[in-house]
Amino acid sequence: MATTSTPPSFPSTTVDNTSASISSSTSVFTTIPHDILRAHILTRLDGLSLVSTACTSNELHSLSSQEDLWANICHSTWPSTSTPRLRHVISNFPSGPRSFFSHSFPLLLLSAAAAASPPMNRDRPPSELISAVDIFYRGDLIFSKVVETETASGWFRCSPFRIDMLEPKDTCHTPIPHPESIDMCQRLGEDLTLSWILVDPDWARAMNVSGQRPVSVQRHWLSGEVHAQFSVVLAGGSRSGRGRRRGEWVQCGIVVTCGGGVEGGGMHVRGVTLQVEDLDGAYLNGKEALGILDGAFEGRKGISGRRVREGKRRYEEFLEMKRERKERELKLEGTLDMLCVGFGVLLFATLGLYYLLCR
């Protein structure tokens, strides 16, 4: 006679055991004095780890929300934020340094909708932009500076948009050796990282317009200068000019220029520049660029872990779109040239026939 047996309910038992284990671990962890947690554990975490810790329990959320913890994380991640001017601006953010970190750390996303619509509850664009730039070579800080740019004057709005972190005669010495080959340029692209945070002090907003690592590193064949380019591609929104269409992509391009170091010494940073370029290769003026950046401040932020990969992919797509547009323009110009030549031949033949008939 066959017997039937009921299989044991392993899934529910496993879930119960796991829940009990997590509950036990959490209860043991929360027995640690708060002073030790703050001074010896939470202070050793980076921003993303601190965010994850804050989601564990209400008690850890309260401990992880302390302003001094986030201020130290911002200063260690971006040394330029320790300047008195930026510290004052960051203190005006809704949650202070924690809000500033959440605005500045993630990657900007392409958002045609955010760029096409006017910013919510903003009756005017920012009257000033603060640029906080930090450059690292193999994890060591080699350049850090803060520059304030006024954006309310007519001169700014009509002139090409350009932010320079260095004056023409200023330089900054670095330990970076001069690359003598293409392979060395590629290795430099892996060792160099840059953060360019744009801050709107009027409305307490910030964003990072750098893809963290360069999308290209090239050495000029004549001068020997090395140009490392960083790029973030954004939607152009509804503010069109010079034939640009609504929602068309633009590039926030950052170029770091280095020179010297030919005889074994380290190169000097001679220029760090930000400009906004459209698909025609033309640089936008201050009014156009400010409108696009104003919409990007309101746009959604992505996952920072994909910053390098996404930034490189978008840059390649931007170059491909530029190439396709150039080919279309050349094809159109060729067609117009053929029409002009045909019209000229027809006109010449008509005038010749008229001359013969009149004789």
pLDDT, tens only, 297-344 = 887 666 555 556 667 777 878 778 778 777 777 778 778 888 888 888
For residue 32, pLDDT beyond 80: no
**Residue 101 and residue 240 share a domain:** no
In this structure, is residue 27 part of a structural domain?
A: no
Q: Give the per-residue pLDDT at 1.
A: 42
Residues 200 and 215 in one domain: yes
Residue 26 clears pLDDT 60, i.e. is over it: no
Q: 128-137 and 140-150: which strand pairing?
A: antiparallel
- 349 within some domain: no
Other beta carbons within 10 angstroms of residue 67's beta carbon come to 13
Together in a domain, 204 and 172 = yes
Residue 92 lies in a domain: yes
Q: What is the pLDDT of residue 238?
A: 47
Q: How many beta carbons lie within 10 A of that of residue 161, not counting itself?
A: 23
Q: Using CA atoms, how far apart are residues 198 and 190, in angstroms rounded to an integer?
A: 24
60-64, 134-138, 149-153: which has the minimum mean pLDDT? 60-64
**Any domain includes 12:** no
Asked which of 82, 107, 132 is the last residue of a domain, the reply is 107
Output 352 or 2, whichever has higher pLDDT. 352
Judge whether 112 and 166 are in contact, CB under 8 Å: no
Query: Are residues 269 and 313 part of one domain?
Result: yes
| Residue 4: inside a domain | no
Query: Are 171 and 183 in a shared domain?
Result: yes
Q: What is the mean pLDDT of residues 174-192?
A: 89
Do 186 and 143 lie in one domain? The reply is yes
Domain count of the fold of the chain: 2
* Same-domain status, 134 and 188: yes
Domain of 100 in residue numbering reads as 38-107
Judgement on whether residues 276 and 214 belong to the same structural domain of the protein: yes
The pair phi, psi for residue 86, each rounded to 5°, is -70, -35
Tokens 């609504």 belong to which residue?
246
Rounded CA separation 157/79 (Å): 30
182 and 61 share one domain: no
348 domain-assigned: no
Pair (48, 149) in one structural domain: no
| Strand 216-219 to 226-235 pairing | antiparallel
The answer on 281 and 148 residing in a single domain is yes
Percent of the chain with pLDDT over 90: 36
pLDDT score for 3: 42
For residue 243, is it left (φ>0), alpha (ψ between -120 and 50) or beta?
A: left
Among 76, 107, 138, where does a domain finish? Answer: 107
Q: Please write down the long-range contacts of 58-66, taking CB distance under 8 Å and 24 or more positions apart.
A: 59/30, 60/30, 63/34, 63/37, 63/38, 65/95, 65/98, 66/38, 66/42
Give the domain-ending residue among 107, 123, 156.
107
Residue 98 within a domain:
yes
Instruction: Specify if 330 maps to a domain.
Output: no
Tell me, what's the pLDDT at 155? Answer: 92
Q: Are 101 and 169 part of one and the same domain?
A: no
